Structure 1
Amino acid sequence: MQMDDRKMRVLTAVIEVYTHTGEPVGSKLVSEQMDVSSATVRNEMAALFNMGLLEQPHTSAGRLPSYTGYRLYLDQLMQTLPLTPKERGGVDALFNVRDPDPDKLLEDAAQALAQFTGCAAFTATMPPEAVTVKQVGILPSRSKAVVILIIASNGVVKSRVCRLDFALTPELLEIYNRFATATLVDKSLREISKIYLNSVAVSSGGYARVLTPILSGVYDLCQEISQGQFALSGEANLLSYKEFQPIAYEVLEFLGDRKNVLSLVQKAQGRTTVTIGRENSHPVLYDSAVVVTRYRIAGGATGAVGLIGPVRQNYAKMIPYLEYFSDTLGSLLAETYDEQQ
């Protein structure tokens, strides 16, 4: 059966009505939008049902778009709606921040995106493979504690307090810093493994015992940098959709694992990827839509913003908003990292 222009218009109308109501769509409502008879629309809806593009939950109910119907709509029929000047201004105002902290910026961005879309939203950065340690510092904190500071070549700064079981002297602090600079600066994050740091401790001779807790802290910080930054917000938004209520616990448990969410980014290809229904590889998302938009930062680093929500979304409006949002976030992160280098 051919997919002619009228069938395409009927399918588009059904999807747009269903997006707003979440209820099965009847022929009368579609006919009013298209200015054609209900009988004509019923015939076309029956044809779309036979083609697998519409579904009928009950015999007497209206029709719903199937996941196949949504895919056809996204790939061929949807016309995106450009952002209005007011919407652009709203995004620009959100990121009008002086000297932003990258971690806080990602958290605020995820929260704002969740509030705007009513979905669960996440933001993430992925550093390039060639990131190295640009600077490492061991700073005094208290008599038995130091602050380990690492600045990576991609501009990311990480620090943590390391507690010691002995009193720190100025002479020992100087030895720490010389040794750390000699063995860690210009090393890639991949090189700074547990095996390498064990060999560093052994090579320090009599200082191995006092260096071990600091080198352990260095390893943890390098792991954090190599894993990138991540923020998730709006998980509770999903509870307001009837589609998620029977599986709320499973979905929230899935989102609670950072690796699960980052796997959605890794599988996304190209600028913007929309994965709907059973296109998702995780069964818990079979009734969901995942929208991921990537952006570039600098020096090979990349980032992504994404949404997890019901399949019935206003993609024509959401996708342009998400792309403008991600571009603005990426530009600000690039400026922030440049200033830190």
Structure 2
Amino acid sequence: MALDDRKLLVLATIVEEYIRSGEPVGSKTILNSSKINVSSATVRNDMAALEKMGLLEQPHTSAGRIPTYLGYRLYIERLMRPYVLSAKEKHEIDEQLTRNGITAENVVDNAVQVLSDLTQLTVVNTNNMPHFSVITRVEVIPAGRRLYALLIITSSGSIKNKICRLEFDLTNEQLGFFAEFVNKNLKGINIDELTPAMLQNLAIALGSYMISLSPLLYAVYELSEEFSHDNVNIRGEQRLLEAGSMDSVEIVRFLNEKQELARLLSEAFSGIKVIFGKENETFSITNSSMVVSPYRIGEAQGGSLGIIGPLRLDYAKVIPYMQYFSDSVTKMLSDILHEEHETK
């Protein structure tokens, strides 16, 4: 069955009215809300045809129609009129992305929070920042009897810390030696380069200090591993639970599966991708959708932003917001990387 211009307009009107009201859409609403100049019977015939094509469904016998995920897909790809962000909106977003200082970590963290606040939806992020970050400083601070606080600071602005309990107290001379040793050997090293083999070589290089200081050295390695694996950030989780149209057990299970979430986000290699819960086994929240977009650092993929919400999402507004955020994050991170290379 052919999809002529009138049927496409009927579908677009139903999608937009349903997104606005949350109520099934009937022929009278379509005639009042669009430029279609035909009888109610003709519109109802078009609705029935769209239902046969799997683009609409009728939730109740006497009710109007609502879009299926296939109807939303067609709307997004062919019929949607994207919202245009004003120059003022873009300026305000850029200002919020750089609050608390222009570092890679701040830009990405701010993007996740601001996007969630703007859309009032759940936002997730996964990033490859460890691949681009180098260690800028390692500190060890006495924190009590046989307790030492270890801190690693990276070029992206990330800080990780760990409390280490040793079997004996360290002297000031030992602490001074360790601080000088690790900073001399690790400063400027990429997080990914700190491998078990490198750790073993460094332990041997400690010489007579190996027995007393190797536990701290191993703790440095453990912290570097945290940088590599702790790369999924979620904001606004409660907004999914408050939506009401999705199963709360499915939501909690999905958000707790960080590895699956990271894999789903990493599937967005270029451009905006819209995923529906019904068509993706990994994204297992019924009646939901996810809008994903990658951002880059220079020529390499830096990570992905994802907006999770109900199937009834204002795609015409959410997608342009997502596009602008990913473009701005890409520009800012690439500028930061360029500046770091210029200062080396």
Smaller-chain TM-score bracket = 0.7 to 0.9
Asked if structure 2 preserves the Cα contact closer than 8 Å seen for 1:132 and 1:185, the reply is no
Pick from 176, 179, 192 the counterpart of residue 178 of structure 2.
176
CA distance in 2, matches of 1:335, 1:228: 24
Q: 1:338 to 1:156 in 2, by over 3 A?
A: farther
Deviations 1:281-312 (A, max 9, x none): 22632421110111123463513221000111
Deviations 1:202-221 (A, max 9, x none): 56454333233222222223
The residue correspondences of 1:232-271 to structure 2 (distance < 5 A) are: 232-244=234-246, 247-271=247-271
Matched letter for residue 251 of structure 1: I
CA distance in 1, matches of 2:82, 2:275: 17
Deviations 1:112-143 (A, max 9, x none): 222221211123321375x5745453444457
Residue 137 of structure 1 is matched in structure 2 by: 138
The Cα RMSD (Å) is: 2.9
Pick from 69, 94, 103 the counterpart of residue 71 of structure 2.
69
Shift of 1:11: 0.7
Asked if structure 2 preserves the Cα contact closer than 8 Å seen for 1:121 and 1:306, the reply is yes
Residue 30 of structure 2 is matched in structure 1 by: 30
CA distance in 1, matches of 2:225, 2:296: 21
Q: 1:227 to 1:9 in 2, by over 3 A?
A: same
- 1:116 matched to 2:114? The reply is no
Asked if structure 1 preserves the Cα contact closer than 8 Å seen for 2:105 and 2:157, the reply is no
Provide TM-score, normalisation by structure 2: 0.84
The residue correspondences of 1:314-325 to structure 2 (distance < 5 A) are: 314-325=314-325
Secondary structure of the equivalent of 2:152?
strand
Deviations 1:72-108 (A, max 9, x none): 1122222212112343243134235252454454444
Residue 18 of structure 1 is matched in structure 2 by: 18
More displaced, 217-226 or 264-273? 217-226
Q: 1:230 to 1:156 in 2, by over 3 A?
A: farther
Pick from 144, 149, 153 the counterpart of residue 152 of structure 2.
149
Asked if structure 2 preserves the Cα contact closer than 8 Å seen for 1:81 and 1:317, the reply is yes
Asked if structure 2 preserves the Cα contact closer than 8 Å seen for 1:127 and 1:228, the reply is no
Structure 1's unaligned 5+ residue stretches are none
Provide TM-score, normalisation by structure 1: 0.85
Residue 84 of structure 2 is matched in structure 1 by: 82
More displaced, 215-224 or 11-20? 215-224
Residue 226 of structure 1 is matched in structure 2 by: 228
Asked if structure 2 preserves the Cα contact closer than 8 Å seen for 1:123 and 1:305, the reply is yes
CA distance in 2, matches of 1:19, 1:64: 9
Residue 276 of structure 1 is matched in structure 2 by: 276
Shift of 1:324: 1.2
Asked if structure 2 preserves the Cα contact closer than 8 Å seen for 1:125 and 1:228, the reply is no
More displaced, 36-45 or 328-337? 328-337
Shift of 1:46: 0.7
Shift of 1:254: 1.8
Secondary structure of the equivalent of 2:284?
helix
Deviations 1:159-194 (A, max 9, x none): 424435333334323432454356545655444334
Matched letter for residue 223 of structure 2: L
More displaced, 134-143 or 115-124? 134-143
Higher relative contact order (CA 8 A, sep 6+): 1
Deviations 1:313-336 (A, max 9, x none): 111121111111222233334445
Asked if structure 2 preserves the Cα contact closer than 8 Å seen for 1:121 and 1:234, the reply is yes
Residue 330 of structure 2 is matched in structure 1 by: 330
Q: 1:163 to 1:269 in 2, by over 3 A?
A: closer
Shift of 1:201: 2.8
Q: 1:314 to 1:190 in 2, by over 3 A?
A: same
CA distance in 1, matches of 2:201, 2:95: 50
Residue 158 of structure 1 is matched in structure 2 by: 159
CA distance in 1, matches of 2:33, 2:334: 46
Identity of aligned residues (%): 35
Residue 50 of structure 1 is matched in structure 2 by: 52
CA distance in 1, matches of 2:25, 2:179: 69
Asked if structure 2 preserves the Cα contact closer than 8 Å seen for 1:103 and 1:229, the reply is no
